[in-house]
């Protein structure tokens, strides 16, 4: 690429106004989640990653919802009033105001990657063409528009609905991506007619219009996945599977061990360090990061969670927005809710729930415990069945603070707000309602009474 070409502005128009009838879903098609993010986010990320200067999204069906999702991604939305076809959709983008090169693409192609877009852009600029369609060879051309060539040169795109039996045999198809110089688009777009079986304005007709007018038109080949558009729920699930497989492959190449990648679900942004082992049925979501040499056993769900090196997460544990320190061991069946921080070498055992808890280094809560709104020091032992009573009748939440090295006997309750100093001991079965000083023993339970040689009263004779 020359410097002059590099400085040519690149604008993008994404078509996302269509109804998505075949999805049979109340949600606009492009908002359906694919491996954890809306389909259209994958398209926006791909063109952004390829250096787009400006992105215009055409919205129509489900407009308000689509705007709400995509506008925060730094795009502008343009309304297409009636869904009269892909050429009509492009008209809504105010093409007269565009400069430089323009990529037009469908919003329903989630397998597209920045490198795919970069590659076709480089080829387009090298070809010095005025207009290019991106094509792919596919096994089942089905409802795709067919690329019709004459002596190797691109002539037209023919929609499947309007194609002859002979044309339908062509396996080179329109991926729904076009690159065009802005002036060419502004000149030929208004000339497209709706003379076809669906009486729609087909953007695909711009190819034959330009070709006939003597403009330089070309087809650029891309890999088949570029053409993968989602039109049905089945295609959505296939795209989801392919994206998870892509992610797993990349992680394994980076030294992650996966017992069964087919049943392991890791979203795109997630990071996993070398030497970590991921068991089947694990789902890692969003901004989750897992360090090196960790082990995540079957059925664990981690959302937006940071896991340090050497952590062992045992089966069926559930994490949201949590931070786990080095070498901690968690689970099985642990539930760590938002704003929880587990210190290094700490242990959280089975059926333990925490929310908004700072849990100190080397502390232990081995079994059947609820800690909410609590600060637990270092080297603390939380006995089985401990509960922080953080929610009061005034419907407010209060904190429990427990100092370093304190030993909490089993089946204790802390009625917050309450503070226990360091090196204290809480007797089993205590209901702590008052602060406990450092080094104190606190016992708050009914005293045991032993009645010697006690026998139950003889029961009354039954009345007739
Ligand atoms: C389109 C192409 C076809 C290509 C295929 C690739 C046309 C006429 N056909 O067919 O050659 O092989 O994509 O996937 O372009 N849209 C609007 N407004 C409208 C109509 C559609 O914004 O009035 C949007 C849709 O939301 C969608 C995109 O345009 O994101 C493509 O529309 P769709 O109906 O899925 O076109 P295909 O039949 O798949
Ligand atoms: Ca489509």
Number of domains the chain is built from: 2
Mean pLDDT of the chain: 96
**Residue 250: enclosing H or E segment and its boundaries?**
helix 233-253
Residue 262 lies in a domain: yes
Share of the chain above pLDDT 70, in %: 98
294 and 186 share one domain = no
pLDDT digits (tens, 9 = 90+) for 388-444: 999 999 999 999 999 999 999 999 999 999 999 999 999 999 999 999 999 999 999
Which of 93, 105, 138, 176 should be mutated for ligand 1, with most atoms under 8 A from CB? 176
Nearest protein Cα to ligand 1, atom 29: 15
Query: In this structure, are residues 79 and 56 in contact, taking their beta carbons and an 8 Å threshold?
Result: no
DSSP 402-457: E-TT-EE-SS-EEESSEEE-TT-EE-TT-EE-S-B-TT-EE--SPPP---TT--PP
347 and 283 share one domain = yes
Ligand 1 midpoint to CA 326 (Å): 50
Confidence bin at 19 (pLDDT 50/70/90): confident
Q: Is 367 a catalytic residue?
A: yes
Residue 162 lies in a domain: yes
pLDDT digits (tens, 9 = 90+) for 166-215: 999 999 999 999 999 999 999 999 999 999 999 999 999 999 999 999 99
Ligand 1 midpoint to CA 204 (Å): 10
Domain CATH for 67 = 3.90.550.10
Q: What range does the domain containing 188 cover? A: 3-227
Nearest atom in ligand 1 to the alpha carbon of residue 18 is 26
* Pairing outcome for strands 131-137 and 172-181: antiparallel
Confidence bin at 463 (pLDDT 50/70/90): low
pLDDT digits (tens, 9 = 90+) for 337-382: 999 999 999 999 999 999 999 999 999 999 999 999 999 999 999 9
Asked whether residue 1 carries a pLDDT value surpassing 50, the answer given is no
32 and 171 share one domain = yes
**Residue 220: enclosing H or E segment and its boundaries?**
strand 217-221
Nearest atom in ligand 1 to the alpha carbon of residue 144 is 12
203 and 345 share one domain = no
Nearest atom in ligand 1 to the alpha carbon of residue 202 is 8
Domain CATH for 237 = 2.160.10.10
- From the list 61, 304, 312, 367, the catalytic residue is 367
Ligand 2 midpoint to CA 9 (Å): 27
Using left for φ > 0, alpha for ψ between -120 and 50, and beta otherwise, residue 199 falls in left
Residue 460 lies in a domain: no
70 and 124 share one domain = yes
123 and 180 share one domain = yes
133 and 253 share one domain = no
Confidence bin at 458 (pLDDT 50/70/90): confident
Nearest protein Cα to ligand 1, atom 31: 106
Residue 454 lies in a domain: no
262 and 220 share one domain = no
Phi, psi of 150 (to 5 degrees): -125, 120
Residue list, CB under 5 A from ion ligand 2: 229
Helix axis angle, 39-49 relative to 233-253, nearest 10°?
50
281 and 177 share one domain = no
pLDDT of residue 456: 87
Nearest atom in ligand 1 to the alpha carbon of residue 174 is 12
Which of 42, 106, 154 should be mutated for ligand 1, with most atoms under 8 A from CB? 106
User: Smallest Cα–Cα separation from 42: which of 111, 143, 96, 103?
Assistant: 111
């Amino acid at each position: 690429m020359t410097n002059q070409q590099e400085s040519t502005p690149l604008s993008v128009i994404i078509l996302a106004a269509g109804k998505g009838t075949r999805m049979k879903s109340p949600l606009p098609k492009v908002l359906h989640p694919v491996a954890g993010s809306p389909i259209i986010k994958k398209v926006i990320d791909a063109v952004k990653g390829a250096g787009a200067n400006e992105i215009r999204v055409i919205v129509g069906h489900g407009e308000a919802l689509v705007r709400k999702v995509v506008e925060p991604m730094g795009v502008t939305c343009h309304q297409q009033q009636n869904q009269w076809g892909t050429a009509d959709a492009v008209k809504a983008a105010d093409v007269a105001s565009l400069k430089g090169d323009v990529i037009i693409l469908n919003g329903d192609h989630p397998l597209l990657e920045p490198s795919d877009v970069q590659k076709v852009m480089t080829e387009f600029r090298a070809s010095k063409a005025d207009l290019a369609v991106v094509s792919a060879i596919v096994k089942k051309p089905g409802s795709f528009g067919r690329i019709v060539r004459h002596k190797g040169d691109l002539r037209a795109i023919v929609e499947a609905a309007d194609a002859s039996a002979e044309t339908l045999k062509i396996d080179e198809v329109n991926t729904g991506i076009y690159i065009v110089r802005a002036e060419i688009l502004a000149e030929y777009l208004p000339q497209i007619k709706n003379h076809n079986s669906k009486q729609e304005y087909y953007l695909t007709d711009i190819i034959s219009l330009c070709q006939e007018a003597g403009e330089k038109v070309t087809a650029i080949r891309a890999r088949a996945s570029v053409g993968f558009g989602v039109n049905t729920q089945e295609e959505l699930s296939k795209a989801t599977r392919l994206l998870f497989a892509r992610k797993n492959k990349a992680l394994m190449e980076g030294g992650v061990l996966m017992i069964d990648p087919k049943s392991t679900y890791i979203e795109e942004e997630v990071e996993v360090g070398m030497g970590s082992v991921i068991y089947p049925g694990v789902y890692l979501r969003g901004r989750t990061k897992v360090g090196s040499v960790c082990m995540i056993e079957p059925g664990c769900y981690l959302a937006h969670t940071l896991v340090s090196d050497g952590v062992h997460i045992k089966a069926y544990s559930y994490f949201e927005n949590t931070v786990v320190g080095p070498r901690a061991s968690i689970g099985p069946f642990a539930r760590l809710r938002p704003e929880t921080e587990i210190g290094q070498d700490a242990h959280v055992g089975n059926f333990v729930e925490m929310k908004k808890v700072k849990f100190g280094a080397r502390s232990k809560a081995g079994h059947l415990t609820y800690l909410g709104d609590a600060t637990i020091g270092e080297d603390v032992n939380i006995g089985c069945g401990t509960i922080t009573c953080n929610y009061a009748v005034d419907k407010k939440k209060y904190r429990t603070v427990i100092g370093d090295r304190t030993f909490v006997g089993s089946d204790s309750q802390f009625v917050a707000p309450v503070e226990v100093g360091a090196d204290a001991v809480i007797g089993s079965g205590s209901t702590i309602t008052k602060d406990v000083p450092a080094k104190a023993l606190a016992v708050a339970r009914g005293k045991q009474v032993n009645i010697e040689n006690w026998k139950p009263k003889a029961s009354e004779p039954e009345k007739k």
